[in-house]
Amino acid sequence: MLNRTVIAHRGASAYAPENTLEAFTQAYLMGARWLEFDVMLAACGTPVVFHDDLLARTTGQLGCVGDFSYPVLATYEAGAWFSPFAAGARIPSLEMVLHFIKETGLSANIEIKPLPLQAAATVKAALAVVQKVFPKGHDTLLFSSFCMASLRHLRAALPQGLLGLLMHDVLPDWESLVSELNPWTIHLNKDILTPDFALQIKRMKKGLWCYTVNDRASAERYFDWGVDAVFSDYPDLLSR
């Protein structure tokens, strides 16, 4: 179980364009030991690390990630929106990011963010890449999702794997989902976190992670409530 840990949310996304190798490298250099990133499928079936369904916000391109093959996505500018100094950053494939994880020895939270009707395909493709890069396994790769179908596919494929149940709003059936999926961790939107909710989760002996926390005072307060880790755009959150 982690203890008062800061997880680099989409990499060091306050300092470099989110979900790029530049943001992951920056997080590593700042001392992060856990990275979080989002995975969806390109049109060719390659898992790519990207947050939005639409390309517009971070690349300025029209259309959806799933409309283009990875060789095309890889040509898109993914850094200039963040800063002119970040121009040249690209959308990485999951395989590229996992090689970075392997080289650095970092731990990772792979968030499966399937496009509509792609839960099974996204999980299958992501797990195939994980198996390729880590044929002997990796002790600290955690898979999370807001998508319950994705979590069910993950649990079926990885009976002993580390799963994280993500909740943006309180799900009415969250306790039965915990029983069914046996997640290692529960990841809450900070806006639904309360001391009582934290206590309830800790009594279930689950890790409690909270997103997205970008000020130190809030992080310290949540840790005092029992939160084990916070996702932050600032890997240096606790020393700022």
Interacting residues toward Mg ion by CB under 5 A: 38, 111
Which residue is it, tokens 């009415």? 172
Residue 95 near which of ligand G3P, Mg ion, none (CB within 5-8 Å, type-dependent): none
Radius of gyration of the CA atoms of the chain, in A: 17
Q: How far is the CB of 217 from Mg ion (least distance, A)?
A: 23
Q: How far is the CB of 113 from ligand G3P (least distance, A)?
A: 7
Q: How far is the CB of 94 from ligand G3P (least distance, A)?
A: 15
Q: What is the DSSP letter of 16?
A: S
By beta carbon distance, the residue nearest ligand G3P is 211
- Return the structure tokens found at 202: 């800790």
By beta carbon distance, the residue nearest Mg ion is 111
Residue 233 near which of Mg ion, ligand G3P, none (CB within 5-8 Å, type-dependent): none
Q: How far is the CB of 130 from ligand G3P (least distance, A)?
A: 17
- How far apart CA 36 and CA 10 sit, in angstroms, is 5
Measured from the CB atom, the residue of 90 and 187 that comes closer to ligand G3P is 187
Phi then psi for residue 47, to 5 deg, are -75, 130
Residues that bind ligand G3P (CB under 6 A): 9, 36, 38, 51, 111, 144, 166, 187, 211, 231
- How far apart CA 80 and CA 202 sit, in angstroms, is 42
Q: How far is the CB of 71 from ligand G3P (least distance, A)?
A: 25
- How far apart CA 196 and CA 124 sit, in angstroms, is 37
Beta-strand relationship, 107-112 and 34-41: parallel
Residue 155 near which of Mg ion, ligand G3P, none (CB within 5-8 Å, type-dependent): none
Residue 219: CA count within 13 A, CB half-sphere: 23
178 near 165, Cβ under 8 Å? yes
Residue 144 near which of Mg ion, ligand G3P, none (CB within 5-8 Å, type-dependent): ligand G3P
